């Protein structure tokens, strides 16, 4: 690019540039020695500057450096992350074994009893029973309970990690300023991007690979809504608690968390929905469940398999949404009383 070549010549960098120059095909204009018109001058990107100065790396060199650097620190990262994430693999394997080992005549009644206790609605319980009857009649029951087991483990871990993080953000403005950009990044990253660094870090057969992807993708709502719920607690109530001489822990456990519980439950509801969405994507990295049937339908153009599996995922989403919202409604009613 003759326009940029002149700039390097002006600063006496031609010898440095030529030292890293590689042979490349020249355009007809470059062979004739013609300079481009001012309106044709491209933006000085890495590739365009490389054409004028061979010592400047190209974009592909920059991305290769990033990849090589990540691979260089991978062994050290694994030494630290493997012990920390291994319990996640054990939890996922244990839940999958439990849910798939229990016979249908044992697990389905347990799920229906849990639905009745949490929702106190016979209509929702009947709907859940009808959905599981559909799974059983279409031989999708095994895949459905695999998906449920993964969502159960990941949602519980999101609540265990997310609620304390949200409380920390509500109590410490510095923590909120530090954590909020991380949550923004997690919330805006495309779903497939979560899998890229994890595939480099862990074996594709390890459950923690898809478990971490699901948790990182779905933990954001419970953190944000826990923080919001505690910050929205009425200041008059806090002053009354102070007047009664409550300690900070007593105020948190007996006043703030109960009043913020509807927001926390709404965050858990959103976490469940996002976990279900990510389970389907995670089937690309060996996550079991209905997502594998959807992937099979796409790869092999099996319309019926993909459609029935997709309909099953919709039913699971409706079940989880209705049950969690019914539980949230009960929390709201108990607050009013």
Candidates 226, 234, 235; CA nearest to 257 is 226
* Structure confidence at residue 36 as a pLDDT band (50, 70, 90): low
Write out the E strands in 125-176. Answer: none
Query: Could you read off the pLDDT of 228-248 as tens digits, one per residue?
Result: 999 998 888 888 888 888 888
- The answer as to whether 70 is a domain residue is no
CA 264 and chain centroid, separation: 18
Determine if residue 33 is left, alpha or beta; phi over 0 gives left, psi from -120 to 50 gives alpha, anything else beta: left
Residue 1 has pLDDT above 50, yes or no: no
Task: Give the tokens for residue 51.
Answer: 């054409």
pLDDT at 79: 87
DSSP at 172:
-
Residue 28 has pLDDT above 50, yes or no: no
Same-domain status, 48 and 82: no
pLDDT at 49: 78
Residue 102 has pLDDT above 90, yes or no: yes
CATH number, domain of 263, equals 1.10.3720.10
Same-domain status, 132 and 17: no
Place of tokens 């159960």: 152
Query: Could you read off the pLDDT of 276-304 as tens digits, one per residue?
Result: 889 888 888 888 999 999 988 888 888 88
Q: 24 is in which domain, residue-wise?
A: 2-57
Phi/psi at 4 (5° precision): -80, -25
Share of the chain above pLDDT 70, in %: 89
Same-domain status, 259 and 324: yes
pLDDT at 204: 82
Secondary structure of residue 145 in the 3-state scheme: helix
How far is the C-alpha of 164 from the C-alpha of 160, rounded, in Å? 7
Residue 248, number of CB atoms within 10 A of its CB? 11
């Amino acid at each position: 690019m003759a326009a940029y070549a002149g700039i390097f010549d002006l600063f006496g960098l031609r010898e440095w540039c030529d030292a890293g120059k590689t042979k490349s095909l020249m355009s007809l204009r470059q062979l004739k020695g013609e300079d481009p018109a001012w309106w044709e001058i491209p933006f000085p990107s890495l590739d365009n500057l490389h054409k004028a100065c061979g010592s400047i790396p190209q974009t592909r060199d920059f991305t290769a450096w990033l990849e090589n650097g990540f691979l260089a620190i991978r062994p050290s990262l694994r030494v630290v992350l493997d012990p920390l994430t291994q319990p996640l693999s054990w939890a996922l394997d244990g839940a999958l074994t439990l849910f798939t080992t229990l016979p249908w005549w044992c697990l389905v009644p347990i799920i229906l009893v849990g639905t009745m206790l949490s929702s106190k609605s016979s209509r929702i319980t009947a709907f859940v029973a009808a959905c599981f009857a559909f799974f059983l009649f279409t031989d999708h029951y095994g895949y459905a309970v695999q998906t449920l087991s993964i969502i159960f483990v990941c949602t519980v871990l999101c609540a265990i990690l997310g609620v304390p993080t949200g409380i920390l953000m509500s109590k410490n403005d510095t923590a909120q300023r530090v954590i909020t950009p991380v949550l923004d990044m997690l919330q805006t990253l495309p779903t497939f991007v979560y899998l890229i660094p994890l595939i480099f870090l862990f074996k594709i057969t390890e459950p923690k690979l898809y478990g971490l992807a699901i948790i990182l993708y779905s933990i954001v709502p419970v953190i944000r809504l826990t923080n919001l719920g505690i910050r929205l607690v009425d200041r008059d109530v806090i002053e009354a608690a102070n007047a009664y001489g409550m300690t900070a822990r007593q105020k948190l456990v007996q006043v703030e968390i109960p009043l913020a519980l509807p927001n926390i439950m709404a965050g858990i509801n959103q976490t469940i929905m996002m976990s279900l969405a990510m389970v389907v994507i995670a089937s690309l990295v060996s996550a079991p469940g209905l997502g594998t049937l959807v992937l099979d339908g796409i790869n092999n153009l099996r319309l019926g398999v993909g459609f029935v599996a997709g309909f099953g995922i919709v039913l699971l989403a409706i079940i989880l949404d209705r049950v969690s919202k019914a539980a949230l409604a009960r929390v709201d009613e108990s607050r009013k009383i």
